[in-house]
Amino acid sequence: MTTTSHGAGAPPRPGSPATPGLGTAPGVRVRDLTVVYKTPLGELPALGGVSLTIEPGTITGIVGESGSGKSTLALSLLNAVQPPGRIKAGSVEIDGLGDVVELRGDELRRARGRHLGYVFQAAQNSLNPLKTVGKQLLDLGRSHGVEDRSALVREAKELLERMGLDGARVLDSHQHELSGGMRQRVGIMLALVLNAQLVILDEPTTALDMITQATILRIVREVHKERGLTTVMVTHDIGVAAELTDRLAVMYGGRVVEHGPTMEVLGTPRHPYTQGLIRAIPRLSGDIAEAQGLPGRPPTLGTLPVRGCVFRERCPLRMDICETVEPPPVTHGERTVACHAVERSHSTAEQEEYA
């Protein structure tokens, strides 16, 4: 495997020269973000006022069942929600870039790629079928003002080789000559090659076999550390999140219901949904016989309750207040949880402490 050193004396990476990057790992502050999709029933919210702080330099995992809004949140970090969706309200402040929800046109295009690297879900289908990967790489470099084309190609080859591919051959290939797993790795290379400081990966290992998946996760971790990135990784696989991430955000029905250090969230989950999610995984609950599926189904945009807690149909701790009042996210220490029952147990504990 080729190893890369970007220390003193190493040639600058292609994203570095002349144009200033963010320089260091940026923090991200999502506030009251509401994203709606136009449906036959009108505009319905896929994100219902999400707030989430992503600390600089961390790998944050976003987990939750299908339809919980993970990809919509990931796209919002780039202001890349496409019609029939739109960001209706809220902000996404990224250190060094400001509120990306306010960015338009050229400013937005420059921010993506150069500062924000991303791999969309199903990235294996997002290459241009008519151009070689190398040509698409050069187009990407040109559109972001990269002057040193040979440094760009060198960097791309190195990244591909670290992911177990023949770099020169892949750059000479068209999409149809590559397997799904190879295309996915090309997507990851394109997300990293311009030296972005905030990297967003949406299910980057979904189509891959276990060994390739492990290799990719190792590379993501290594590159994150070497380059001092802030990384956000969407996954439906809690095992992957446990291995890779420092912080975990658990989504349900377009809300972040729990957020905190990964090991704490998985070790002592507080939100009833997180608890159910973990009980459903034999690998984490320890015993396959004891793994219990979460009862019921996740809501769709059409069935999402408009009042009260979005999880209440499936919640064993449901109370009267859950019918009418949406639980606000409340932070204790490093953990943020949005649940009336958790809040109540905290206030009881506090009352006892001061009694």
Ligand X SMILES: Nc1ncnc2c1ncn2[C@@H]1O[C@H](COP(=O)(O)OP(=O)(O)OP(=O)(O)O)[C@@H](O)[C@H]1O
Can you give the binding site for ligand SF4, defined by CB under 6 A?
A: 272, 309, 311-312, 315, 317-319, 322, 327, 339-341
Strand partners, 50: 33
Does residue number 84 form part of the binding site for ligand X (CB under 6 A)? Answer: yes
Using the contact rule CB under 6 A, the part of the chain among 60-68, 148-156, 174-182, 280-288 near ligand X is: 60-68
Q: What is the pairing mode between strands 42-54 and 28-39?
A: antiparallel
Q: Which amino acid would we find at residue 32? A: D
Using the contact rule CB under 6 A, the part of the chain among 59-67, 125-133, 136-144, 220-228 near ligand X is: 59-67
312 makes contact, choosing from Mg ion, ligand SF4, ligand X, none, with CB < 5 to 8 Å by partner type, with: ligand SF4
Question: CA neighbours within 13 Å on the CB side: how many for 350?
Answer: 7
Using the contact rule CB under 5 A, the part of the chain among 14-22, 30-38, 71-79, 174-182 near Mg ion is: 71-79
Cβ atoms of 164 and 218 closer than 8 Å = no
Using the contact rule CB under 6 A, the part of the chain among 64-72, 140-148, 277-285, 313-321 near ligand X is: 64-72
Q: What is the DSSP string of 99-158?
A: EGGG--HHHHHHHHHHTEEEE-TTGGG-S-TTS-HHHHHHHHHHHTT---HHHHHHHHHH
Q: Which amino acid would we find at residue 60? A: T
46 makes contact, choosing from ligand X, Mg ion, ligand SF4, none, with CB < 5 to 8 Å by partner type, with: ligand X
- The least CB distance from residue 262 to ligand SF4, in Å, is 21
Does residue number 121 form part of the binding site for Mg ion (CB under 5 A)? Answer: yes
Does residue number 48 form part of the binding site for ligand X (CB under 6 A)? Answer: no
Helix (H) or strand (E) holding 265: helix 262-267
Using the contact rule CB under 5 A, the part of the chain among 62-70, 99-107, 136-144, 259-267 near Mg ion is: 62-70
Q: What is the DSSP string of 172-227?
A: T--GGGS-HHHHHHHHHHHHHTT--SEEEEESTTTTS-HHHHHHHHHHHHHHHHHH
| Burial of 33: CB neighbours in 10 Å, binned 0-12, 13-18, 19+ | buried
Out of 121, 126, 275, 285, the residue judged to bind ligand X by CB under 6 A: 121
- The least CB distance from residue 82 to Mg ion, in Å, is 13
Cβ atoms of 61 and 74 closer than 8 Å = no
Out of 14, 26, 67, 167, the residue judged to bind ligand X by CB under 6 A: 67
Q: Which amino acid would we find at residue 76? A: S
Q: Which amino acid would we find at residue 316? A: P
Does residue number 37 form part of the binding site for ligand X (CB under 6 A)? Answer: yes
- The least CB distance from residue 122 to Mg ion, in Å, is 9
Between 85 and 90, whose beta carbon lies closer to ligand X?
85
Give how many residues touch Mg ion by CB under 5 A.
Answer: 3
Out of 174, 236, 318, 332, the residue judged to bind ligand X by CB under 6 A: 236
6 makes contact, choosing from ligand SF4, ligand X, Mg ion, none, with CB < 5 to 8 Å by partner type, with: none
Between 71 and 184, whose beta carbon lies closer to Mg ion?
71
Between 143 and 303, whose beta carbon lies closer to ligand X?
303
Cβ atoms of 284 and 238 closer than 8 Å = yes
319 makes contact, choosing from Mg ion, ligand SF4, ligand X, none, with CB < 5 to 8 Å by partner type, with: ligand SF4
Does residue number 71 form part of the binding site for Mg ion (CB under 5 A)? Answer: yes
Identify whether 12 is preceded by a cis peptide bond (ω within 30 of 0).
no
- Report CA-CA distances (Å) from 154 to 119, 178, 274: 20, 20, 43
The binding site for ligand X (CB under 6 A) comprises 37, 39, 46, 64, 66-72, 84-85, 121, 236, 300-301
